[in-house]
Chain A
């Protein structure tokens, strides 16, 4: 089984709908992250959480919200989806800060907003 599991893997929905992407991990890491990946723009950080009671905005948090339900679960919500939120979304975890504590990524959710 994957250490970082994202659901769903693919989702197509309409403008204005509320969407929730879920991430669960079995690595026991405290830190969890949500990124989106767009062609030509690379990975951009949406939100991150260093523990259950800690939530921080990343560089592109507008239009998104998150919930850290437990150490192992971190969900990303789009309250009212819009077409420019069409992207590949990744959840990641890490055991601490620094390059010797690498981020471990899930396999992504491909989200299309029509």
Chain B
């Protein structure tokens, strides 16, 4: 079983829609949860991170974590064509040799 699972999509929605992107993870020891955005022919860039259950908001983006069900979500409000990208969830557990584990990414397209 993969440590983090993510629906690859693709997901296509009209401009202005609310987008929901989701991941599940298997190990309850993971403490930190991140979302990276990757534009075509570019490297991933960190969008948001959180370490607790609940919501964290940053502009049009909201990251949500439910540790009891091992489920993480990213919501995008008022989606724009410029949000079209691949979104990767990532999980992390702090230790001396800790590494980030990435999901496979969901490709999102916002139609004008």
Contact = CB atoms under 8 A, between A and B. Distances in A.
Counting chain A residues whose Cβ lies within 8 A of the other chain, the interface size class is: 20 to 34
| Interface secondary structure of A, over-half rule | loop
Contact of B99 (A39, A48, A90): A48
Given A42-B102, A48-B99, A102 B43 contact: no
Counting chain B residues whose Cβ lies within 8 A of the other chain, the interface size class is: 20 to 34
A74 interface: no
A92 interface: yes
B34 A99 contact: yes
B106 to A, nearest CB: 11
A43 to B, nearest CB: 4
Interface string A39-56: 111111100100000001
B103 A105 contact: no
B45 A105 contact: yes
Given A41-B104, A90-B43, A105-B44, A99 B99 contact: no
Interface string A89-110: 0101000011110111111100
Given A39-B104, A98-B94, A102-B46, 19 more contacts: A4-B43, A41-B104, A42-B6, A42-B88, A42-B103, A42-B104, A42-B105, A43-B88, A43-B102, A44-B102, A90-B44, A99-B49, A99-B51, A103-B46, A104-B45, A106-B43, A107-B41, A107-B42, A107-B43
| Interface secondary structure of B, over-half rule | loop
A58 B98 CA distance: 11
Interface of A: 4, 39-45, 48, 56, 58, 90, 92, 97-100, 102-108
Going nearest first, the 3 A-B pairs with the smallest beta carbon separation are A105-B43, A42-B104, A102-B46
B32 interface: yes
